[in-house]
Structure 1
Amino acid sequence: MTQDHDTAAAATIALERYRDRFEDLMGEVAGCFPRRETRRTFREMTEGLLMELQDVNCWTVAEEVGHPGPHRLQHLLSRASWDDRAVLDQAAAWAVQWLDDGEGVLIADETGDEKSSTDAVGAGHQYSGSLGGIGLCQVAVHLSFASNVGHTVIDRALYLPRDWAGDEERRELTGVPEDLLFATKPQLAAALLTKAVADGIRATVFAADEVYGSREVRRTCRALGLGYAIAVRSNHKVTTPGGAGTVLALGVAGSMLAAVPAQAAPMSDKAIAHQMIKNPAQFAAFNNIVSRESGWNHTATNASSGAYGLVQALPASKMASAGSDWKTNPATQIKWGLDYMNSRYGSPVGAWNFWQTHHWY
């Protein structure tokens, strides 16, 4: 009976943790919906999509969440006013803050969605790995964030084939935006990578299959300070700068995996903290506070109060007790922040518990 009780207790704790995080996520994206009714429908649809349904569509989701029909969900997707781009960006940032252990990897891949006609935007006879060959489908390039903690999709871009991009009549009939032009899958991946880094999502390496083994993607990685592991054709030649790194060639299904560090990329502030804080629970609490206080920007300054750095010390000069380089060295700021949390709250976990109640510490 003891084992059964332990199992039940663990399941209860997991369910409570899931509910807490779901509520946290819904709070993060609430501002993207101008109407309460739209926000509630989005919440219900999200709950339905997280259920284990054999078929996922507006009819099955509506039935599971207690709607009399699919009309509210269909209205949400086709006519309701809300900012889906903002929802995606904020949900991605929220997810990454839980998954980021300082050694994150960005991964690009495409997925085909089978269609019955070419009426859907971008649909055509094209290759899709999920279909096992060429079929009538839409194809989208996805960017995922992965770490030792877990993984999630953080962005996507629809692949618009050349025949679609150049067909003005079909574009007008289906409402394709004027600024959506033809771009290759590597170009889409490079754009997604650039946006992710600009949005503050930090990773150490980019990984992809041979579809994305173009020079443009590799140049983008180097410009963003990312190492990369990209599969390329077996006859593809890779040139590396002298001394910048070596090429690791591995036979993988007839192709070559080229792992080329762009350069010795500096360790992220979060990775430094992860090395300094060995206890996972304490690091998670420290991460929660710093993510909200400064977004892991060691030069962040509060224009109103003058609070500064990763832990938003006030006055900022207090951090000088940890080192004279406190203005520029994230490790010094982390050391001071840890000392402060330990002395005032007993630990970062104690500080995080206080922060959740008062939204400061």
Structure 2
Amino acid sequence: MAVCPSVDPDRWRNEFEGFASRIGGRFARVESRKRARSFLRGLMAGLPRVNCWTLAEHAGETSPGGMRHFLAGAVWDDDGLRTDLRDYVAERFADAEAVLVIDETGDLKKGKMTVGVQRQYTGTAERIENAQVAVYLTYATPAGHAFLDNALYLPQSWISDPARCQAAGVPDGVAFRTKPELARTMIATALDAGVPARWATGDEVYGNDPALRAALARRGLGYVLAVAKTHQIDTKAGKRKAIDLAVTLPEPAWTWISAGPGAKGQRLYDWAFIATSDQDLPGQHYLMIRRNIHTGEYAFYRAHSPAPVPLAAFVRVAGIRWTVEDDFQNSKELAALDEHQVRRWTSWHRWTLLAMLAHAYLAVTTATAHDTQPADGLIPLTVNEVRHLLVHLAIPRPTPPTAFVLAWSWWRRHHQAHAQTSHHDRQATALQLN
């Protein structure tokens, strides 16, 4: 059997230890530093379920109490750790032509007490559900892509209920901010920190926000932001809907351009561009229209560049927007981004930050492996395959002794029996009151 030179468990192990040491200084106590390393290993371990119970068991601890305290009460430099994530991704994938991709994802939740939860639309379910929503910022370059930052969306129903916010540990002074406002802050933070980037992209939530478009243009950042078909465009004849402009374009106005490679080859569409203006902002502005070459379905974008660029450059940026979907899928499947079972502000931010760090490590390791030619007849390593190999070859978990396995089985069943009894008692009390 041929050996793939791009698989190097010893190097991966050393890089993980270096990665863990790099962030170790953000934790005040040596116990927390060790637990951070164990937490990251557990997030990437492919456990059937990921929570403080399973993470503690995987780490060889005798109860979940230490992991719970690590998330909720241990002393961290949370802002410093977020800086470490941003710097790690930017250093490994740095590119002056990089694209900052913004999008949100939702986690379905039960009840009302988990921070930020309410009935709201989430793309995860593609409908209105009881969910918690957060906005994420991805850094995308030809070398690779990973999250730079995230922000929890706290609905107005929460901000207007101080008691509910206090119970969930929301810090004093947190005000309502729209998703585009959260995006604007994260992008500004990244640019102020020196992250190299030339473009930004996002879906209709962000493209329909004039304040975000203005902020990006004034920063000298080009953008390709999706807008609705009913989006109003200023023309010499007055305001017109984007769809009304699209259907009047003659056939020679359309150009066949690829939005980049996909799973089934090049993603070819018809594209048309209409020069426009936007709030008297400087630079080149367009309404960009995409038409499916098979179905004729339209999609619309507001596009801007500080200086003239080929129209294919805008199309490339539009195609890169889907990298954030890959990051959502991979970080949830491979780093347990959405498996947090926590209710409070601090615990949620810490869990998702550690998951983003684990995903960044996987993304960087995969990109590094791509620098080595794979064996004949093999595709380059994917992030899924890298995670699989890491778990089995680079950072495997020693086989626990029988007594340890049995002790955890007893602990789980004892806890579940206590929870079952409490539930039955509450039901009986409710029936008596009725």
Q: TM-score range by the shorter chain?
A: 0.5 to 0.7
Q: Which residues in structure 2 correspond to 1:108-257 (within 5 Å)?
A: 108-213=102-207, 214-238=209-233, 239-240=276-277, 244-251=284-291, 255-257=299-301
Deviation at 1:263, TM superposition (A): 3.7
Q: Which residues in structure 2 correspond to 1:253-292 (within 5 Å)?
A: 255-263=299-307
- Asked if the contact 2:289–2:300 (Cα under 8 Å) also holds between the matched residues in 1, the reply is yes
* Structure 2 Cα separation of the partners of residues 220 and 20 of structure 1: 41
- The number of aligned residues is 259
SS state of the match for residue 28, structure 1?
helix
Q: Which residues in structure 2 correspond to 1:262-341 (within 5 Å)?
A: 262-263=306-307
Superposed CA offset, 1:173-198 (max 9, x none): 22211221111111111111111111
Deviation at 1:199, TM superposition (A): 1.5
SS state of the match for residue 32, structure 1?
coil
* Structure 1 Cα separation of the partners of residues 191 and 308 of structure 2: 18
Counterpart code for 1:116: K
* Structure 2 Cα separation of the partners of residues 243 and 62 of structure 1: 54
Deviation at 1:254, TM superposition (A): 5.3
SS state of the match for residue 248, structure 1?
strand
- Asked if the contact 1:225–1:263 (Cα under 8 Å) also holds between the matched residues in 2, the reply is no
SS state of the match for residue 250, structure 1?
strand
**5+ residue gaps, structure 1:** 266-361
Greater relative contact order (CA < 8 Å, ≥ 6 in sequence): 2
SS state of the match for residue 288, structure 2?
coil
SS state of the match for residue 137, structure 1?
strand
SS state of the match for residue 289, structure 2?
coil
* Structure 2 Cα separation of the partners of residues 25 and 93 of structure 1: 12
- Asked if the contact 1:28–1:91 (Cα under 8 Å) also holds between the matched residues in 2, the reply is no
More strand by share: 2
Deviation at 1:251, TM superposition (A): 4.4
Deviation at 1:233, TM superposition (A): 0.9
Deviation at 1:245, TM superposition (A): 4.6
Structure 2 vs 1, CA of residues 80 and 233 (structure 1 numbering), >3 Å: closer, same or farther?
A: same
Counterpart code for 2:55: V
Query: So what's the TM-score if we normalise by structure 1?
Result: 0.67
* Structure 2 Cα separation of the partners of residues 33 and 242 of structure 1: 45
Task: Work out the percentage of aligned pairs sharing the same amino acid.
Answer: 35
Determine which of 72, 91, 99 is the counterpart of 1:97.
91
What residue in structure 2 maps to residue 337 of structure 1?
none
- Asked if the contact 1:125–1:136 (Cα under 8 Å) also holds between the matched residues in 2, the reply is yes
Superposed CA offset, 1:122-160 (max 9, x none): 110011111221111111111111111111111111111
Structure 2 vs 1, CA of residues 251 and 259 (structure 1 numbering), >3 Å: closer, same or farther?
A: farther
SS state of the match for residue 232, structure 2?
coil
Determine which of 47, 50, 56 is the counterpart of 1:62.
56
Query: So what's the TM-score if we normalise by structure 2?
Result: 0.56
* 1:81 equivalenced with 2:75 (yes/no): yes
* Structure 1 Cα separation of the partners of residues 27 and 308 of structure 2: 43
**5+ residue gaps, structure 2:** 234-275, 310-434
